[in-house]
Amino acid sequence: MGRARSGHRPGTRRAGRREPCPARGHRRADGHHRAGRSPRHDPRLRPPRPGRAARAPRGRRRRLPRRVVTGRPVAIVTGAGRGLGRRYAIALAEADHAVVVADVAGATETAEEIGELGGRALAVEADVSLETDAQRLADAAVDRFGRIDVLVNNAAIFTSIHKCAFDEITVADWDRMFAVNVRGTWLCTRAVAPTMRQRECGKVVNVGSMTVPSGIPLFAHYVASKGAIVALTRALARELGPYGICVNSISPDYVPHDGEYAARQPEMAGIIAAQRCFRRDMEPDDLVGTLLYLAGPGSDFVTGQDVWVNGGRLFH
């Protein structure tokens, strides 16, 4: 046991010194502040100046609440009469969306299938390349369901096209491709934008293609139109972002289905599948998860993005 210092006994105060007050900033007997900050020097202890709001403590910044969407969401899916569009519409219905099914043909069959599954759907026969049809589609959705939360711009020309060198494409075929794929995407987005702006929320999901980054030959008009959709997605994201509207695109790889192109090119599926990490054909269900993510609240801070779904055939 060590010895006590000379002139001081353990358990007693030193002579000539006063015990400091435990209050922060109290002066000692010698006129100096004790260790620690005084109210005058510690901004956390000072009252806010008149006319200035109190600043949140460092590390605990205030955040504005996100806009909460209540009620059953309403989705419009174009080109939903068959193929991937039909699968998109059914997937959204299974996720408790009321779905407006739009197509030049087959919309009624898709809507009936959704009804048999216990969902709510409205069939609208529309050609998205026509300004009047695009506006009528948006009006029908609002009249029936009172709102529009999601727009899936899926309508496109693909299954009926033939391989063709770029200098053999007719002007009529080129114009028709851009009228449906690009102008239709623009017209439908323009038609739903007012109601989304008014509610300060909404999701627009455009459909691109993996033919854009891979640059496949003999489909120049189709590849160019899908590249334009990706560019349009980014431009719309800039313009609609201030209103809380997310605009993204999903680019699927080749999906064999009952289209005319798949029937004419049966070997194409195997060639593309061999280039994928997963070494299998892509199915419509492989796109559902990404679609629901871009259409749902989990992507509220995601906009202007092109999401590739290709089984690892291409990376970026």
**Per-residue pLDDT for the chain (316 aa), expressed as one digit of tens each?**
555 555 555 555 555 555 554 444 445 555 555 555 555 555 555 565 655 555 555 555 444 445 555 689 999 999 999 999 999 999 999 999 999 999 999 999 999 999 999 999 999 999 999 999 999 999 999 999 999 999 999 999 987 788 899 999 999 999 999 999 999 999 999 999 999 999 999 999 999 999 999 999 999 999 999 999 999 999 999 999 999 999 999 999 988 875 655 666 777 888 888 889 999 999 999 999 999 999 999 999 999 999 999 999 989 8
Residue in this structure with the two tokens 């029908």, named with its chain if needed: 140
CA 266 centroid distance within chain: 34
Q: What is the rounded end-to-end Cα distance, in angstroms, of the chain?
A: 71
Domains and CATH numbers, the chain: 74-309 (3.40.50.720)
Cα 73 to Cα 135: distance, rounded to the nearest angstrom: 20
Of the candidates 261, 179, 174, 260, the residue with the CA atom closest to the CA atom of residue 220: 174
Residue in this structure with the two tokens 């008149």, named with its chain if needed: 50
Pairing of strands 245-252, 98-103: unpaired
Cα 290 to Cα 292: distance, rounded to the nearest angstrom: 6
CA 306 centroid distance within chain: 10
CA 97 centroid distance within chain: 16
Show Cβ contacts of residue 224 under 8 Å, excluding neighbours closer than 6 positions.
Answer: 178
Of the candidates 303, 309, 66, the residue with the CA atom closest to the CA atom of residue 200: 66
- Catalytic (active-site) positions: 222
